[in-house]
Every structure is written in structure tokens, then in C-alpha cells.
Amino acid sequence: MTDSLPMVTFPDGRSVCALGQGTWHMGERNGDFAAEVDSLRAGIDLGLTLIDTAEMYGGAENVVGEAVKGRRDDVYIVSKVVPSNASSKGIVQACEGSLQRLGVERIDLYLLHWRGRHPLAETVEAFERLQEAGKIGAWGVSNFDVDDMEELREVRGGGAVATNQVLYNLARRGIEFDLLPWSESAGVPVMAYSPFDEGRLLSEPVLAEIAARHGATAAQVALSFLLRRTNVVAIPKSGSAVRLRENRKAIDLRLTSDDLALLDNAFPPPVSKQPLEMI
């Protein structure tokens, strides 16, 4: 397994490994808590130090909090505020709640989970105040399409957006038509969520076929497809240390042009604008 990790740099200059860890559905069952903490720790040991969570994910922030105890400086924590809390006042309370569950003094990157009824200008101003107070490092958004990003960048302070976290995997390639090129030219990294399409992708025969050529697995092929891009951070979720190790090895896999042609055939890239998909 290679020691060198592909890195992505956010606009504030902070670099993170392009392969991170998701946490949705963690903390939902008490009996899984210890294994989930262990798997996040195993991931951190492997260099997968960006951990994505959200106030909406129930107990997931508590799992992350336990996993990062004693190693806060090794990790880059991303959390999200639900849109109904993204007002001047609501966001302060929501952020405090996340900080408490995480057991940390600062969230490295705090995202608006999706667009809601509060004006973007109000949310951006609230993010800035949290930054000034040292509660968050940077801020960003999630589930924003190109028109939302353009509107955001028109808002005072909106140009500081650090990332846009969106659904992106082989079966959901719509953003390749416009949002991905837009993000590349704007210098805003994209965080690809549900890189396995919540696991569904992994039973696609073409992934098994390509994996067999490389002595790899379907999960590694799905991740390698995303990791080819220099502006994308993929955040697969696994509650198993064994599967995390498997996912980490995707960094060593190089897909050939033949592999990519097979993938294009099975999952054609978009030829026109697709509305942004969300899970």
C-alpha cells in the first residue's frame, strides 16, 4: 500500500486527503457504537483524516467525538447545519450542539446541508461570525447546483465558500456536465457523497469485471473512478475496519483507458444539463 496520499487543497490553503470517511447511519444502534469508533480510528490511522458528519445524522457526531478523543489535531472534521437552523440565531445554537456532541472546540469545515428558507446572505454572515469566534475554521455548502453556487458568490462574503458537497458516483454523473467544470474553474473542491450509491453500485457486473483485471474489488474501482480527479474528495462510509482498509487501497489502483471506456459504456457521462440529484 502506497504511503503517498492524493491531496485536495481548499481555498484557505488547508490540504486534506482526497479520500475521507462518511458517518451517515453511525450512532443509530447502541450495539454498533464501539465497532464504529474503531473503524473511524482505523481510517484515521490509514490517513483518511477527513471525517464527514452532520447534526442531522442523529448520534453520528457522538461516534466521531469518541473516535477523535486524544487525536483532535490529526483529523479534519466536517459537519453540517440543517437549513431550518441556518439563521443568524439558529446557527449559533446548532453549532454549539454539534461542538458538544463532537467534544471539540472547533469544527474545521461547517456546511449548509441543503438550501432552505433562510436567505443565503444571512447564513453567510452567520458563518462569518462563527469563524470570527473560532467555532469553525471554514464554511461551505452541500447540494448546491450551478445556479445556487452563482447566487451564493453574488452574496457579500459568498466568494469564501470552501466546498460544495454533492451526490457523485458512477451511477450519478450529472455534475460532470456543468457543476464539476464550474467548480474546477472557480477553485472550489467538490466533496462526492455516497460514492458507492449507498452500496447499490457495488453489485454492478462491470465493476466486478474491471476489478478482476486488477486483482481489486468493486469498491476500489468505484473510488478510483472518483479519485482520478484532482478537485474531488470522496467520502465513503464504512463501519468496518476491514472494508476501510480495502477502500484505502483504492488509492493504489490506476484505471486504464480501456477500463474507463467500459465504465462510460455502462454509465454514460451526461450530454446535457441534468438537475442535481440528492439523497
Ligand X SMILES: NC(=O)c1ccc[n+]([C@@H]2O[C@H](COP(=O)([O-])OP(=O)(O)OC[C@H]3O[C@@H](n4cnc5c(N)ncnc54)[C@H](OP(=O)(O)O)[C@@H]3O)[C@@H](O)[C@H]2O)c1
List active site positions.
Answer: 57
CA dihedral defined by 58, 60, 62, 63, rounded to 10 degrees?
150
Specify the amino acid at residue 45.
D
267 is a site residue for ligand X (CB under 6 A): no
17: Cβ contacts below 8 Å, ≥ 6 apart: 5, 6, 7, 8, 47, 48, 49, 50, 233
Question: Within positions 147 to 176, which residues make up the interface with ligand X, using CB under 6 A?
Answer: 165
Decide whether 132 or 195 has the Cβ nearer to ligand X.
195
Q: Give me the 99-138 binding string for ligand X, x by CB under 6 A, dash otherwise.
A: --------------x-------------------------
62 is a site residue for ligand X (CB under 6 A): no
Q: How far apart are CA 41 and CA 225, in angstroms?
A: 25
Residue 109 sits at the vertex; the CA angle it makes with 123 and 53, to the nearest 5 degrees, is 100
User: 164 - beta bridge partners?
Assistant: 141, 190
Decide whether 119 or 199 has the Cβ nearer to ligand X.
199
The residue number whose beta carbon is nearest to ligand X equals 22
Total of residues contacting ligand X (CB under 6 A): 27
Grid coordinates standing for 177?
456536465
CB of 178 to ligand X, least distance (A): 19
Decide whether 55 or 259 has the Cβ nearer to ligand X.
55
71: Cβ contacts below 8 Å, ≥ 6 apart: 44
183 is a site residue for ligand X (CB under 6 A): no
**Can you tell me which of 106, 129, 153, 243 binds ligand X, judged by CB under 6 A?**
243
Decide whether 77 or 104 has the Cβ nearer to ligand X.
77
Specify the amino acid at residue 23.
T
| Footprint of ligand X (CB under 6 A) | 22-24, 52, 113, 142-143, 165, 193-199, 202, 219, 235-240, 243, 246-247, 279
